[in-house]
Amino acid sequence: MAFNLKGRNFLKLKDYSQQEIDYLLTLSKELKAKKRAGIKGDLLAAKNIALIFEKPSTRTRCAFAVAAKDEGGSTEYLGKDDIQLGKKETVADTARVLGRMFDGIEFRGYKHQTVEILGEYAGVPVWNGLTDLFHPTQILADFLTIEENFSQLKGINLVYTGDGRNNVANSLMIGSAIMGVNFTVVAPKKLWPEKDLLNEAKALAEESGAEIEMTEDPSKGVKGADAIYTDVWVSMGEEEKFAERIELLKDYQVNMEMINNTGNSEVIFLHCLPAYHNSETENGKKILKEFGISEMEVSDQVFESKYSKVFDQAENRMHTIKAVMAATI
C-alpha cells in the first residue's frame, strides 16, 4: 500500500506511523533491487538537494549524494564554514533562503532544535542526517538489514549495549516501539535513556506489542537476542569523556563471549560505524594507546565474523535514504 508522504519532513521516527515506516522500507527494497539490476531512475529528476553538514560523515554524505544521482537529482554540499547558518544569519532565515533554491534539505549537526527550525521554515522537505537527539535515517537502514536477515521486524529481539542515551539508541528505542520490535538497553544505569523518552517509548510499545526493557547485566540482557547493536562509547563532541566511558563500559564490549551468551547461533551484530574495533586508524591508535586497550566497543573478532552485518547496514543507508527523498519530494 502506497502512502502520500509528499512534502513531509523526516526529522524523527515518532512523526511517522508503523504503516508509513513499513512503506518506506518496502520502497527501499524496491529501489535496492532496481539499483542491483543496473536500472537508473528519474524519481528525483531535476531536483536539487542541499546537504548541510556541521558534523562530517562518510555514510550519510555519500548515501545522500549517490542516492540523489541514481534517481536523476543533484546535491550541493554545504559544510559548516560554507554558509551563515546560525552565525551571521538565523537558522530560520537560512531555511527560507535555501527553500527557495532547493527541492529538499538534509541537515547533519549538533542541536536537534536546528533541524526542527529548518523543517518549520524551509517550505521543502527537510531530512535529519543526525542530531544530538535522533538519527532516524540510520534506523531505517538498521531495520532494513534486520528484515533482510529475519524476514520480519515484529517480535524480533534487538539488544543495544553501550551508551544507551545517545542519538542512535534513542532512535532505535522509539523505532522499535513503533514497529513492534522488542528492545533492550544493556548499559550502566547512568547511561540509560532519558526518563521522558523511555516513557514515550513504552506508551508506543503498548500499541505495537513491543517490550522495552533496561538492564545493567550484560549476560542477562543479551539472552535470546536476534541482533546485538552497539555504537562508539564516546559521541562526536564528547571526546573529553573517553576515560570515564571506558571505565563505565569496559564490561559492555560486544565480544564472542557476549555473542555466545545470546544462545542464538543466528544472531547478527550491528553497528552504525565508524567503529573502534582495532587500532589501525589514526584516531584508534591514539585513543587505544592512551588508555592501554586494544579494542573498544566491539572486538575485532566479532566485527570481522559471520555475525557482522555492518557493511550491509552501511549500504542500506543509501537505499533507505533514497526512499525517504523519493517519497517526500
Was 19 annotated as part of a binding site? Answer: no
Active site residue 135: yes
58/63 Cα distance (integer angstroms): 8
Was 108 annotated as part of a binding site? Answer: yes
Burial (CB count within 10 angstroms: exposed 0-12, middle 13-18, buried 19+), residue 89: middle
Active site residue 8: no
Q: Catalytic: which of 108, 112, 245, 271? A: 108
Active site residue 100: no
Was 235 annotated as part of a binding site? Answer: yes
Q: Catalytic: which of 8, 112, 245, 317? A: 317
Contact 126, 107 (CB under 8 A): yes
Active site residue 226: no
Active site residue 62: no
Was 167 annotated as part of a binding site? Answer: yes
Was 226 annotated as part of a binding site? Answer: no
Active site residue 142: no
Q: Catalytic: which of 103, 142, 226, 231? A: 231
Alpha helices in the chain (DSSP H): 18-36, 59-70, 91-101, 112-121, 136-150, 167-179, 195-208, 218-221, 242-249, 256-261, 282-291, 300-303, 310-328
Was 84 annotated as part of a binding site? Answer: yes
Q: Catalytic: which of 8, 112, 135, 245? A: 135
11/256 Cα distance (integer angstroms): 36
Was 62 annotated as part of a binding site? Answer: no
Was 273 annotated as part of a binding site? Answer: yes
Q: Catalytic: which of 22, 112, 272, 277? A: 272
Q: Catalytic: which of 138, 142, 165, 271? A: 138
Which residues make Cβ contacts (< 8 Å) with residue 10, sequence separation at least 6? 16, 125, 126, 127, 128, 136, 137, 324, 328
Was 26 annotated as part of a binding site? Answer: no
Was 236 annotated as part of a binding site? Answer: yes
Was 319 annotated as part of a binding site? Answer: no
Contact 23, 141 (CB under 8 A): no
Was 59 annotated as part of a binding site? Answer: yes
Was 11 annotated as part of a binding site? Answer: no
Give the count of beta carbons closer than 10 Å to the beta carbon of residue 242: 15
Residues of the binding site for carbamoyl phosphate = 57-60, 84, 108, 135-138, 272-273, 317
Residues of the binding site for L-ornithine = 167, 231, 235-236
Q: Which residues are catalytic?
A: 108, 135, 138, 231, 272, 317
Residues of the binding site = 57-60, 84, 108, 135-138, 167, 231, 235-236, 272-273, 317
